[in-house]
Structure 1
């Protein structure tokens, strides 16, 4: 029997966070904490996190989803994904307190929530695993290369493009400017810090305020607000890619990666992996499991995609 969900409130550095617990009837030693990415709240886009938590609870896995400080119904100032370690620790504390018998927690995160999970997991021995979907590894160079490689190739194969061209409705000038801008970003000379593996701090500047998803030629590209676009760019600070790498290297638990086949954010992360022996070694480790849902967009917006993600998650959490 599935129990009714519970609304919870708990403190975090002087602020008050809001969460929803999806409990289970029998005691469980492992649960899933759903980390909410981008400027959104605990329900998720198209109620994804609500439905995921309920699906996990139906399989005997307790789940909790919560709002960061400054998001949803939580108090405080809004912050980006690189500044939520305290929120995650407070949420793990509350999750374990609300579920007697819970001994360990799996962090589940999509996009920049996956990146936030990588930063945090090694700091908390109660975290035994991570489910990371389409991790955010945005840099101006990486996004430009991913777009050139994946978007334009697919775009040329679309009948709609050629219909626009032959009907005279295609804007060659705008297309040329966009292509030239991407070429410039993809192959611009990088600063010395980037050449030493500290790139990844500067991110695509096209996004403005909102976790917007833009469909393009069967692919989806995600833009974060300006606060996240400049994260990790302090002089001398490790770039985003390096911080993610160090976080995953320092975490000894199990990891499940889930990638969308029709998402530029996922492709950019995978291109980063292909360019790095260290990343390739990490993803090839026995503790890492990997799934790809070829037709899915960034947020797995169709029911069949969402259900597949929930199935992979529950099967993996119960497999060890």
Structure 2
């Protein structure tokens, strides 16, 4: 019987991106591997992640024989340069992939793994032009719009509150302000009815003139390789994503992909902050990689 792979070490790597110095941490297993996981950070935060989630994920994967790299975008953490948002980090991701492959001899391809707007950045990365990208794992993808957020709040908060007898008792006793409560409800209804700007017909991910949720969907439709989506049960971002998939033709086409798998974590919050949920995500990531034949 062969021994389970063990984490060998965490290695710091410095690499260049458009003249700036970026820092990454690679968790390296004992044995060489052909496929690794590159964590794309959601922001604004650095490579450790909320409650050190990315550290724990990387080390868990390395213990299973899968190298994993997490890094700071330009302007974040220990990387130099101007701060940027998730819509403008494709150069950073491209540079990080190159540094990851260089740091791990034998590594040929990567799986992009992102939470929230890190998942959005994964979708926007032009993977259809990059043969180094084998697959993607998206956690609670950020497809935010003011109207979408308002619909989620209306559906999952206000409707439940109106149906709750304790709310009407508080209202009758004066513990809840009638004007404040229904004024807030009216504002949410008005936001939910707002229409998004008309979107021109485009076929490329890089078209910055269209809303980013639509560009995300097109990015996924235009690439090859399996796709996993992890969704939290106690998260408005995940619920907004579900609603977007129902209302958007492009996202409905994404859901029709035969190589797509959706896993739901019913008790998890947005960042999987409970230690048990953090570990469950790490284990689910490794299990999915194995099931798709990406790792041993």
Work out whether 1:183 is the aligned partner of 2:189.
Answer: yes
What is the alpha-carbon distance in structure 1 between the residues aligned to residue 215 and residue 228 of structure 2? 19
CA displacement at 1:34 relative to structure 2: 0.4
For 2:106 and 2:161, how far apart are their aligned partners in 1? 52
1:296 aligns with 2:244: no
Aligned match of 2:75: 70
Q: 1 CA distance for matches of 2:196 and 2:239?
A: 21
The whole-number CA distance in structure 2 between the counterparts of 1:167 and 1:101 is 69
Query: Structure 1 residue 42 and structure 2 residue 37: aligned?
Result: no
1:1-320 correspondence to structure 2 within 5 Å: 1-120=6-125, 121-156=127-162, 161=167, 164-165=170-171, 168-191=174-197, 193-194=198-199, 237-319=209-291, 320=293
Q: Secondary structure at the match of 1:42?
A: coil
Summarize the Cα distance change of 1:93–1:176 in structure 2 as closer, same or farther, 3 Å threshold.
same
Three-state SS of the structure 1 residue aligned to 2:9 is: coil
Count of residues paired in the alignment: 282
Q: CA deviation at 1:253?
A: 1.0
TM-score (norm 1): 0.83
Contact 1:197–1:242 under 8 Å retained in 2:
no
**Root-mean-square deviation (CA), in Å?**
2.0
Distance 1:151 1:54 in 2: 37
Give 1:205's aligned residue.
none
Contact 1:262–1:295 (8 Å) recurs in 2: yes
The structure that has the greater radius of gyration is 2
Deviations 1:203-251 (A, max 9, x none): xxxxxxxxxxxxxxxxxxxxxxxxxxxxx9x7xx111122011101111
Aligned 8 A contact 1:41 1:66 in 2: yes
Give SS of 1:180's match. Answer: helix
Instruction: Say if 1:131 and 1:189 are closer, same or farther in 2 by CA, change over 3 A.
Output: closer
Closer, same or farther: CA 72–161 of 1 in aligned 2, 3 Å: farther
Flag structure 2 segments of 5+ consecutive residues without an equivalent: 1-5
Secondary structure, aligned partner of 1:6: strand
**1:155 shift after superposition:** 3.8
2:229 aligned counterpart, secondary structure:
strand
